[in-house]
Amino acid sequence: MGPLCQRMTEDLKLKKYAESTATEYLRCARNFAAFHMRSPSKMGEPEIRDFLLGLAFGEASAATLKMHVASLKFLYATTLRRPEEVVALAWPKVPHRLPDILSGSEVEALLAAIEPLEHRAVVMTAYGTGLRISEACSLQTADIDSKRNIIHVRDGKRARDRYVMLPKRLLVFLREYWRQVRPAGLYLFPGGKPGRPITASTVRTALKKAIGKTSIKKRVTLHGLRHSFATHLLEAGTDIRVIQALLGHSSLRSTMRYTQVSQKHVSRVTSPLDLLGKDKGRVLG
């Protein structure tokens, strides 16, 4: 794509898209160009439709198709300034599956199995605070406020700052981590490259190895730990709006999904079958 790729990269930067999102958008745009062996600037709606149909009739998942639609909408509407080419593009429906939620004992077993100490510290921070893995990896030492028992989350999703709690157990562990590792530089969890934080892929690899050491059969991901955090808070009686603020959700609808995955909330619901013939069942008529 040459100069067009550079322009798209700059536009993504100006729009403050997350680095991971920008990388995916550029990859999808390159796929489109490679499919037709032409520059996107010389193509329009017919070529876009042919490309997406090829994905849809192929083995591409709904999520993959949606990412390509988002990329092409950005490319044509923002970078090429030809929004009319993509205005009619429909968003594919992506199945919404309920995530696997770990029990408290499973989280304990998983944390104990993660090695080395640095990687365990990142995962414990992510679960203990509900941070996205990108947010946990990017934490700076100055973001930990032990006097107020809070953590300052900077540049979260949609470039929003927020505060989350600093669990006492996490603080104790981070102090031991600090004593042993002595991380140098700005970041609490520095990566292999000087001046850069640890990468999410590095932590994912450590998590995958740890899962193999446990008897956990559920599908476990770093984002799944965030789901477990929210569900555990809900089951412990935390108000749903507090959970919304901790997770950094702009809409309560995003947080309400955890009422669907909380088994304790489901089990507490009384079926109308159990009310029949009882005083409480009079409301049924």
Q: Mind telling me the catalytic residues? A: 132, 157, 223, 226, 249, 258
Judge whether 36 and 60 are in contact, CB under 8 Å: no
How far is Cα of residue 171 from the mean position of the Cα atoms in its chain? 24
Q: Which two tokens stand for residue 159?
A: 């470039």
State residue 277 phi and psi, 5-degree precision: 80, 5
Burial class (CB in 10 A: 0-12, 13-18, 19+), 36: middle
What is the rounded CA–CA span in Å between residue 44 and residue 30? 15
Of all helices (H) and strands (E), which one includes residue 144? strand 144-145
Task: Using alpha carbons, select from 87, 41, 35 the residue that is nearest to residue 58.
Answer: 35
Residue 199 has what DSSP assignment? P
Residue environment code for 91-130, b if the CB has 16+ CB neighbours within 10 A, otherwise e: ebeeeeeebbbbeeebbebbbebbeeebbbbbbbbbbbbb
Q: Which two tokens stand for residue 187?
A: 């970041």
What is the rounded CA–CA span in Å between residue 208 and residue 228? 17
For residue 210, give every residue at least 6 positions away whose Cβ sits within 8 Å of its Cβ, in sequence order, or none.
110, 113, 114, 115
What is the rounded CA–CA span in Å between residue 39 and residue 1? 6
